[in-house]
Amino acid sequence: MPEFKSDSSLKRILSNGVYTVSRFGVYAISGILFIPFLVKEFGSGSYGLLALGGFLTQYIGMISSCVGTAVARYLNIALNSNDWRQANEIFTTAIVANAGFILLQLPLFALGVWKLDWLIDFPEELSRDFRILVACNILLFFLNIMKGVLFTPIQAANRLDISEKFMIGSQIARMVLLFSLIKCCGARLWIVGAVDLSLSVCVFLIGISIYHRLVQKNLVFKREYITAKWVKPILSMAGWSLVSMLGFSLFVKTDVWIINRFVSKEMAGVYAALLVWPNLIKQIGSVLGGLVAPVFTIDFAHGRNERMIDSLMFSAQFVAYAASLLCGIFIALAPGLIRLWLDETFIQYALWIRLLLGLLVFTISGSVFWRIFVTIGETKYMGLGNLIPGVLNISFSLLLVHFGYGALGVICASMVALVLKENILFPVWISKEVGIPFSRFLLIYLRAGAGCVLVILVSRLLISTPVDLSIWQLGYVMPLSGLALLGLVIFMSTNSEKLAFMKVLQNHFLIGIKK
């Protein structure tokens, strides 16, 4: 059997980075320019239904996602160890199990679509369109279950550039198709579901040929490879991952649902629209985390734990600084940015987005930290770290809504829960398992906070009346704030950290590891 080729060389990391940044840019354009178009065409109430379109598959989807994550980890390690027998057993067993899982869920989802009004409050005139949207999301969910196994070799080979190309093409095609169809046929909910499903089918078909090329036809589906021996370790890891996903679901999407059911549909739509900016900045953490996650796994498989830790802390600090720049500018200039992005009627909700972004400065590094639990196989910490704060979030949200605090109460509850999760539980458990002092985590948070405060001060000095902000003014606010932040970063960095940075640079970008 030939060797499976995984690559973390300079050329590969830079290639992955270029396409990852490009995908983030496309996502940013979509959020900044396209979301206001959707809000205008659908109205804030109907736009809130778009955010809730995947609610029915959310909880069942967690099960398949968690199993998929566990399968991907074991398959990834098997491929990098060149154990093709083991890889084929995991691959074949996963395909059969996923197909059976889909068949078992069909009656449940059919009932959910039929009785959808039991779960979500929506106008009667939108009943048909909304049900079609939900049905498309269900089919999309089934397709993603199967796609997850087939696309694992892309991550194992550290060929993230391939998956990023798919996502870039899909996002651009999505914007073009939705714009054209909405202008042609009107703002119909079913159009969004149909476009998303069609694009996912295209990506799936193209991905099959890429998968065959990467594994050189050595990773195959055969009846003889079906075995139960991988069920226990995969389900054990997936069980805690499921607990993690259940806890995670008790944050953002459930927040929108609580506002929809207990405050108002209009407020749910406003909240969903404003979440685009925090979610956009969160993508920075997700992008960087996704970029370094395959390297974590490769290092762990080869016993390079020190290199893994250096990469983890450097990546987390980098994403925290990036968030402090973007969040600081938005916090300082929120009224003007909201006016430019949506319209003046949304300026009254500037406090909401300031609270969400201010919190994000301190919690975004968790989007990198949690991946280490998957790498080392300790998903129980990830599960408990999401479930405990998630339950707190729901309980506190409902309590504050009951006492009349509305959507603002939901936001405050989420802030408390996220601090517990990202700034206390995750760092404590990582410190215990990997041996990183908690003080290093605390330093990341304090530096990010200091950077954000500096950016806010510089932005307000440059723009004294944020509500009158113009696009061209952002052209000098961002680079000048960035330069000020860079100076602070250099000032706060110790000599040992600069040496550690050079070490990471040497290990990852100057030498690389290539098999």
Q: What is the DSSP string of 378-417?
A: -HHHHHHHHHHHHHHHHHHHHHHHHTT-HHHHHHHHHHHH
Q: Is the pLDDT of residue 501 over 90?
A: no
pLDDT at residue 514, rounded to an integer: 42
Q: What pLDDT digit, counting tens, does each position of 398-431 carry? A: 999 999 898 999 999 999 999 999 999 999 999 9
For residue 29, give Cα distances in angstroms to 171, 175, 203, 252, 272.
10, 10, 21, 22, 17
3-state DSSP assignment of residue 375: helix
Long-range CB contacts (within 8 A, 24+) of 507-510:
507/307, 507/310, 508/8, 508/13, 508/295, 508/311, 509/10, 509/13, 509/14, 510/10
pLDDT band at 58 (very low <50, low <70, confident <90, very high): low
Highest mean pLDDT range out of 198-202, 359-363, 371-375?
Answer: 359-363
Q: 229 phi and psi, to 5 degrees? A: -70, -20
Q: Is the pLDDT of residue 325 over 90?
A: yes
pLDDT band at 8 (very low <50, low <70, confident <90, very high): low
Q: Which of 2-6, 433-437, 455-459 has the lowest mean pLDDT?
A: 2-6
> Where do the structural domains in the chain lie, given as residue ranges?
1-249
Are 91 and 221 in contact by the 8 Å Cβ rule? The answer is yes
> Per-residue pLDDT averaged across 320-342, rounded?
90
Q: What pLDDT digit, counting tens, does each position of 92-116 carry? A: 887 887 788 788 878 888 887 887 7
Highest mean pLDDT range out of 85-94, 161-170, 291-300, 445-454?
Answer: 445-454
Q: Is the pLDDT of residue 60 over 70?
A: no
pLDDT at residue 302, rounded to an integer: 72
Is the model more confident about 240 or about 142? 142
Mean pLDDT score of the chain, rounded to an integer? Answer: 81
